[in-house]
Chains A and B, each alone.
Chain A
Amino acid sequence: MKRWALLLCLFALGCTKKSDSVKSEATMQSKPAALVVGTDAAYAPFEIENADKTISGFDIDIIKAVAEKAKLDIEIVNTPWEGLFTQLESGDRDILISAITINDDRKKVMEFSEPYFEAVQLIAVPNTSKVAKYNDLKKLKVGVQTGTTGDEVASRLLGKTNPNVKRFESTPLALQELLNGGVDAVIADNGVVNNFLKNNAQGFKTISDTSFSKEYYGIAVQKGNLDLLKKINEGLAAIKADGTYDRIYKSYFGEKK
């Protein structure tokens, strides 16, 4: 009986603690706090966490430039991809920028800015490979990153449970496997593939197939937060107009085609 009472007390204590912290958070929010930007900083060159725990990358430069133009005070927080969308929904994050492809499913739960980056899938193959187009991959071993567009594309051609689709935890691992001869080709986002090429002297060639649909990355805000969305779009338009965007683009991906 006593033990139960003790447990009950502890539980009650826990509850009061919790409500206290909620209250303090609420009082904190009444002050004009920085907008929290969530990004999954494990996707070079879009977002990378550096050795000193700061976050950099193409997306980060873009959102910083946008925030400067739109006069928004932002704070960037590394947020694992798995929890990214839920944290926006719950209000823990105000803005998301994390190489997020704009699609209809996502539009149902969040608002997207104008596109800020065009992504296409690239096929990476050894320099000596005879592969020239998507359909040539049918009988080959294709490396992809699990759950990405590249995975979907490869699965569509070869079948979801085909052992010739080799899934890796990251695109660089799949590309490394290509260099080692473990797969015949890799399908992945152009940004990540080109970044890998930049950092690995021993190269491979890339093929773009017109049958791959283009995708656009967008900056996301909470559903219904149209005020913030408007400011972000204005900022985006401003950096595109004054050449800031092109400068950032060039520093990561070279001259725009």
Chain B
Amino acid sequence: MFAWFRTDIIAEYFPLFLQGLWTTLELTAVGILFGTLLGLLLGLGKIAMVERGPWKWPVRFFIKLPSQIYIGFFRGTPLFVQILLIHFALVPLLIHPEDGLLISGDTALYLKREYGAFISGALALSLNSAAYIAEIFRAGIQSIDRGQFEAARSLGLNYFHTMKSIIIPQAFRRMLPPLGNEAITLLKDSSLVSAIGLAELAYAARTAAGAYARYWEPYLFISLIYLVITLCMSYVVHVLERKYKNA
């Protein structure tokens, strides 16, 4: 029945698929890690507010507004466009052998050659997911009754202590399902990075398809791999949810 399915194509390109799988997992892990850290800061930044006193305006202009603009930009433009923009415009501006603003000279050449596409891809995915994760944090924090915050403050805890010990632990439970969702989305979106020549899963499939002009085998094969990983991820989220249910 599956005689038309040419397994020899998969076999021939197997090393590339394997390497692609590894790169995809690395990209996703980096994206989730940095996206979560940056997302937490941005989420807090977006709801930061000082009602009176000398900090009222500085907080609004230098914390709240930049966070809002950042989240607006990264949620409001396509990831594909962000990847191309970062790889072909932003990163060459920062890291360039001749006149990089951040790094130049031989270090820049080495970085571009060895890790150029990975740096750009990981950067784009981190920055993009941070915007979505910021919104998840914001929604999670705002879903906690304001009384909790007021009670903690009246017990003498300061803002950061209140957030750290009272609000975020409660909010985390509610944030778990959307965070799991975001992780799965990130894994799938990492396929877009193949556009800048990074050898991840979709790149491996595109290469095999390009060589044989056959589309079923490579793309069906990577679909299966993506599916297996996303199922594993949703299982982990499910286990975590159960763990924190009674916490």
Name A residues whose Cβ lies closer than 8 Å to a Cβ of B.
141, 143, 146-148, 151-152, 155, 160-161, 163, 166-169, 173-174, 176-177, 180-184
Contact = CB atoms under 8 A, between A and B. Distances in A.
A160 B117 CA distance: 19
A169 B211 contact: no
A180 B113 contact: no
B203 A167 contact: yes
B113 A169 contact: no
Interface of B: 12-16, 19, 88, 91-92, 96-97, 108-109, 112-113, 116-117, 195-197, 199, 203, 206-207, 209-211, 213
A184 B16 CA distance: 21
Nearest to B120: A182
Contact of B13 (A161, A173, A177): A161
Nearest to B208: A160
A147 B116 CA distance: 23
Given A147-B210, A147-B211, A180-B96, 8 more contacts: A151-B210, A155-B211, A161-B14, A173-B88, A173-B197, A180-B92, A181-B108, A182-B112
10 contacts: A155-B211, A160-B16, A161-B16, A163-B16, A173-B197, A180-B88, A181-B92, A181-B109, A181-B112, A182-B112
Contacts of B14: 161
Contacts of A180: 88, 91-92, 96, 112, 116
B247 to A, nearest CB: 44
Contacts, number: 73
A125 to B, nearest CB: 13
Among A147, A167, A180, residue most surrounded by chain B Cβ atoms (within 10 Å): A180
Q: Which 4 A-B pairs have the closest CB atoms?
A: A147-B210, A146-B210, A161-B16, A182-B116
Given A147-B213, A180-B96, A163 B112 contact: no
Contacts of B209: 147
Contacts of A181: 92, 96-97, 108-109, 112-113, 116
B113 A167 contact: no
Nearest to A141: B113
B117 A182 contact: yes
Contacts of A174: 197
A151 B113 contact: no
A174 B96 CA distance: 17
Contacts of B116: 177, 180-182
Among A143, A147, A182, residue most surrounded by chain B Cβ atoms (within 10 Å): A182
A184 B97 CA distance: 13
A146 B207 contact: yes
Contact of B210 (A166, A167, A177, A184): A167
Among B14, B97, B109, B116, residue most surrounded by chain A Cβ atoms (within 10 Å): B116
Contacts of A152: 211
B197 A168 contact: yes
A146 B207 CA distance: 6
A181 B95 CA distance: 10
B112 A143 contact: no
A148 B112 CA distance: 25
A167 B197 contact: yes
A160 B108 contact: no
A174 B14 CA distance: 24
